[in-house]
Amino acid sequence: MISFEKLGYFLPQGFLYSGVSLQINRGDKIGLVGKNGAGKSTLFRLLTGQIAPSEGKIHLPKECRLGFLSQDIKIETELSVFSFLEQSNAQLKVLKNRLEEINDELTVRTDYESQSYLSLLNELAECNEAFQIHDGYNWEEKIMGVLEGLGFSKDNVHRPLSTFSGGWKMRAELARILVNEPDVLLLDEPTNHLDILSIAWLENYLQRFVGAVILISHDRLFLDNVTKRTLEITLGKIVDYPFGYSKYKERRAEESERLESAKKQQDKEIKQTEMLIEKFRAKQSKAAFAQSLIKKLDKTERIEIENDSYAGMRVRFPLSVQPGKWVLSMENVGKTYDRPLFHSISISVGRGEKIALLGPNGVGKSTLLKIMMHQIDYEGSVEYGHNVGIGYFAQDQAEKLDPTLTIFETVDHVAKGEIRLQIRSLLGTFLFSGEDIHKKVGVLSGGERTRLALCQMLLSPSNFLILDEPTNHLDIPSKEILKNALINYEGTFLIVSHDREFLTGLTNRIWDIEDQGLKIHHFELDEYLRYKVPKDGKEVVKNTVQEVKPEPVKKADTLDREQQKKLQKVERSIEETEAQIAQLEHQLAEIHFQDPTYQGMLNEYNRLKPHLDRLMEEWEKLSN
């Protein structure tokens, strides 16, 4: 489909890549990876023709349609979200307008036998056929399906696009690209502004997409679930791996280990050769031999290894003091803007809880966190427990940094006491070392600013962390380091994140803002997502408490009586176990975390879940 022929792109400071030759085929699902600044977004701009290669060529088939989602989109329109998509297909727009014109003309014409009337009928038939071939009669339904999948409600799709935030405009642009079904999708960080449910929908969509997909993403699980091939930009080359991201990382680690060993051997041989040259070059009888060694050395292709800046990086959030048994209590908390976001939330957070706050964008997750921090007005009451010290990371925390300060000054302003003596080593832990610490904050990338904002948090010991999208703009290794720090954190934390890989195994409770209330779930993130987003991605399941049971199949007449008794017994056991699970889920949602009976209930719940799975398997075998 697309081929690179000795492709190269040069910048004043050197080349990004050179001599790249590879093929991208229809149906390929590719992850494009590499360090920040390696040239991933530049490759997309080369593919779309925004810039020209410095050398070589890119061959695209005739009429190949590219759908490019950039991180820097600018949409200036007063159209509604729906109209923005409806008018995005020029071919359908022309056909639809012509069909309306012809139908209007036919209603007033009376010269039924004339040649011009018959020609008009022929054109009507041709336009209808073309409109049908391009799926024009399902166009509006297709638009609504994509918009709802990406989180737009039916009420919001008729609002002017100009009234939405940048994140929602990005969703509208992504919807416009998807609904037009290009031959190749080029997606640069498509999950950045999506909530956890929209990401799962997009993942299902891309898995079924028949064209080629090339993804740049810092979402490891998203890459693993969508891509089957990885292109890595490294040391001026593009290396092709026929695996998804995790398998690529394993193979990459094996190759790095082999290269390190080969480089050590090569360095040893080069050193020995240089010693021989130095020894013999001054002797006339050995000068020719020394020259041959010099030529050999010049022809030697030096082994290069890309250093891993994150190797050995360890971060810990310091605990201030141990708080009391509960750290936060909310009573009848509510918030209304133009419409009610939520109301009557009464819940407490116990010491040591690890909570993920989930829900679609716009339901009030960030608002609830701001209420906890007393930053905005609200209904009800919010109280902190004894000795509670909060560390708060707002969604725009990185943007609040003073751009006129240097990196060192930024952390020096918040550091107090003896910790100030360790500022340089602490900054080094966050990959700011040497002269980098004198850079102005204004020139830093989004990921660098986020790391700096997290570094600031380390200088303020806490026992309760409230984190709103801390992984935004972080690359995959940085997210792994942050996750490890939170796993080892001895305090309590409440986190909002759309990154499933980051949340998996991190929390012991899920809070879900739904129907203007707060629901509490005690199961893992995977199970939560199975209830909320079915595999077909068509519908969001509202009831996360009720266990889904297959409809009993009609038993064959040949089924013996003994088997019927077994089947009935298993069905009764399923009903009893489901009732027990439902009751426990209700009790766990109401009970305090520090209640002496809480752990016993949780253990019983965790015992019954796999027991129910076994009963369901037995029921399926017997009913078949």
Query: What secondary structure does DSSP assign to 59-118, as a single string?
Result: E--TT--EEEE-SS------SBHHHHHHTT-HHHHHHHHHHHHHHHHHHH---TTSHHHH
pLDDT tens-place string over residues 131-140 = 888 778 888 8
What is the C-alpha to C-alpha distance for residues 555 and 544, in angstroms, rounded to an integer?
Answer: 30
Treating both helix axes as pointing N-terminal to C-terminal, what angle do 598-623 and 561-590 enclose, rounded to 10 degrees? 150
Whether pLDDT at 5 is above 70? yes
pTM: 0.70
- Which of 359 and 68 is assigned the larger pLDDT? 68
Domain ranges of the chain: 249-299, 326-532, 561-623
What is the C-alpha to C-alpha distance for residues 75 and 169, in angstroms, rounded to an integer?
Answer: 7
Provide the strand spans (E) within 464-548.
464-468, 492-496, 509-514, 517-521
**Per-residue DSSP letter, 539:** -
Q: Exposure string (b/e) for 179-209, b if CB count within 10 Å is 16 or more? A: bbebbbbbbbbbbbbbbbbbbbbbbbbbeeb
Q: 444 is written with which tokens? A: 């830093």
Average pLDDT over residues 335-354: 89
What is the C-alpha to C-alpha distance for residues 219 and 473, in angstroms, rounded to an integer?
Answer: 10
The contacts of residue 147 (CB under 8 Å, 6+ apart) are: 81, 82, 85, 157, 172, 175
Bridge partners (DSSP) of residue 147 are: none
Handedness of CA 183, 184, 190, 195 (dihedral sign): positive
- Which of 330 and 420 is assigned the larger pLDDT? 330
pLDDT tens-place string over residues 279-318 = 777 677 677 777 787 788 887 777 676 665 555 556 677 7
Fold (topology level) of 326-532: Rossmann fold (3.40.50)
Proportion of the chain above pLDDT 90, given as a percent: 27
Residue-level pLDDT at 31: 95
Torsion of CA 573, 574, 580, 586, to 10 degrees: -170
SS (H, E, C) 127-182: HHHHHHHCCHHHHHHHHHHHHHHCCCCCCHHHCEHHHCCHHHHHHHHHHHHHHCCC
Whether pLDDT at 533 is above 70? no
Residue-level pLDDT at 554: 42
What is the C-alpha to C-alpha distance for residues 138 and 145, in angstroms, rounded to an integer?
Answer: 11
Of the listed ranges 99-103, 195-199, 265-269, 584-588, the one predicted with least confidence? 584-588
What is the C-alpha to C-alpha distance for residues 596 and 197, in angstroms, rounded to an integer?
Answer: 35
Residue-level pLDDT at 494: 95
Least Cα distance to 465 among 444, 495, 443, 441 occurs for 495
Bridge partners (DSSP) of residue 209 are: none
Average pLDDT over residues 226-253: 90
Residue-level pLDDT at 307: 62
The rounded mean pLDDT for the chain is: 83
Beta strands 379-384; 184-188: pairing state: unpaired
Average pLDDT over residues 315-343: 86
pLDDT tens-place string over residues 171-183 = 999 999 999 999 9
Of the listed ranges 1-15, 60-74, 151-165, 553-567, the one predicted with least confidence? 553-567
